[in-house]
Amino acid sequence: MLRNENAELKCVFTCKVCWNREVNIILVKCGHLLCEDCAPQVEDCPLCKKRIEDRIQVWFSS
């Protein structure tokens, strides 16, 4: 059970574009999260297609 929860959390914090890095940039307008490599490369959110107004770096405490 704990192993499943850990895998689910890892998936939540993994970039949905490259699936390689942890998310740390929030897209202003829609609130979706991408990694610092993928976020600057897109003008529209790849998840919901809303226009990105800004990008803000976020940190998650462990």
What mean pLDDT do residues 3-19 have?
Answer: 85
Give the distance, in angstroms, between the CA of residue 60 and the centroid of all CA atoms in the same chain. Answer: 12
Q: What is the pTM of this model?
A: 0.83
Q: What is the pLDDT of residues 28-58, one digit of tens each?
A: 999 999 999 999 999 999 999 999 999 999 9
Task: Assign domain 2-57 one CATH number from 3.90.76.10, 2.60.120.10, 1.10.730.10, 3.30.40.10.
Answer: 3.30.40.10
Question: Per-residue DSSP letters for 12-50?
Answer: HTB-TTTSSSB--EEEETT--EE-TTTGGG-SB-TTT-P
